[in-house]
Amino acid sequence: MISAVSAAQRLDSRGKPTVQVRVTTDKGQFQALVPSGASKGDYEAIELRDNNASAYGGKGVETALDVGTDLKKIDALLREVDGSDDKSRLGANAILGISMACARAGAAAQGVPLYEFLRKESGSKKPYVIPVPFFNVLNGGVHSGNTMAFQECMIAPVGARSMAQAVQMGSEVYQELKKVLTKAFGPTATGIGDEGGFAPPISQPHEALDLLVTAVENCGYTGKVKFAMDPASSEFYNGGEYDLGFKGKTSEKYTGEKLGDLYHQLLDKYPIILLEDPFAQDDWPSWTAFNKTCPVELVGDDLLATNVDRIEEAKEKGACNSLLLKINQIGTITEALSAAKLAYELGWSVFVSHRSGETTDDFIADLTVGLRTGHLKSGSPCRGERVAKYNRLMDIEDEIKASGAEVIYAGAELRTIHSG
């Protein structure tokens, strides 16, 4: 039984206000901190901000806090009370904080870990699956101050045998990459972006991938560590064209078809296994055309916004084959579970994600295990708000092993292991 709901304004990893919610039940007090993104799609649920220029430049969340303290029940009631399609009345940040905290309270009431509670809520089967972590080690786009248009270059230790080993491999490559960057560009090139990845003075995606190849080879992990890219292309799409020089002084414009050719060149040359948001959120023709010949996991983020209506439209148009699951895009845990279920029913994969404006809340680690998604991204193996998720996953792995239950590291089967 929920006896109290309280909310407070706290800071996220970029030093901007976010919502903290505490739910009190007869089993204890349960807390959640809500993340926020920098590159946001038009179809995401809407955060509620104060717009008071005298405090935090208008980014305060006191208005959302006033809403949250009046609510007593969970997701269905939250949606009903809000009454809008995009949760703009109460604010997705207020709603999600309550939803997350109530999920934790529900797990406590059942006497089970959060990942087991979410597994049962979603209808997922056993054995448990520990995901492959995708570490964002090179940053560009709106997440960094360099001139590279593509937002994220990630490494994925598919050749590991456990989460603990995957984290070790990711950390070793990250530290080696720092040495590679220092040698190539000097120590100033090892500054980091919002998600903890390095932001060296490069502008082209092949430059980033060449640096990853060197770092992985130096660590002896060639073949065991694969790559992934998130261009976040809505950020450099304008007037029907993609400008890869949008952060520099010279334009470098591509049509959707020409950009697709560039992606195929990169896929042919480098061990890339996942491509996220290669085209803008409403450039359906480019998505559909590319998906016909794309040999890897093609993930929709801004395209889908964790929204079942957008997922259905993408399936109808043959636009992608994987959902990026961001809980704050849709606003409640129940809706996030429903979006993942729909993606699975369509034969897709599900890729769980953090946000660039993160907190130390590790909820998505349990969510990934509960849904058996097989992979997640939570930034680099650096910065506390990123590492919190990876540390939680190692804890979960240890807990499951200690209980005697079966647990599998997703490895190379990360895309399809949920159905096994």
How far apart are alpha carbons 156 and 136 in whole angstroms? 9
Q: Which residues are annotated as a binding site for substrate?
A: 143, 152, 276, 301, 353-356, 377
CB of 380 closer than 8 Å to CB of 135:
yes
Question: Per the residue annotation, which of 172, 195, 335, 385 is the catalytic one?
Answer: 195
How far apart are alpha carbons 49 and 93 in whole angstroms? 9
How far apart are alpha carbons 420 and 406 in whole angstroms? 14
Q: At 383, which amino acid appears? A: R
To the query of whether residue 345 is one of the catalytic residues in this protein, the response is no
Question: Per the residue annotation, which of 40, 59, 226, 326 is the catalytic one?
Answer: 326
Q: And the tokens for 203?
A: 């502008």
Nearest to 107 by CA among 20, 34, 25: 25
How far apart are alpha carbons 204 and 200 in whole angstroms? 11
Report DSSP letters for 55-87, one per residue: SGGGT--HHHHHHHTT--S-HHHHHHHH-SSS-
Edge-first strand order for the sheet with 2-11 is: 2-11, 17-25, 28-33
Q: And the tokens for 272?
A: 């890339």
| Helix axes of 384-403 and 163-185: crossing angle, nearest 10 degrees | 150
Which value, to the nearest 10 degrees, does the dihedral of the CA atoms of residues 385, 129, 273, 35 take? Answer: -30
For residue 337, what are the contacts with CB-CB under 8 A and spacing of at least 6? 118, 121, 122, 371
Q: Which residues are annotated as a binding site for Mg(2+)?
A: 230, 276, 301
To the query of whether residue 172 is one of the catalytic residues in this protein, the response is no
Q: Which residues are annotated as a binding site?
A: 143, 152, 230, 276, 301, 353-356, 377
Report DSSP letters for 300-358, one per residue: ESTTTTT-HHHHHHHHHHT--SEEEE-HHHHSSHHHHHHHHHHHHHTT-EEEEE--SB-
Enumerate the active-site residues. Answer: 195, 326
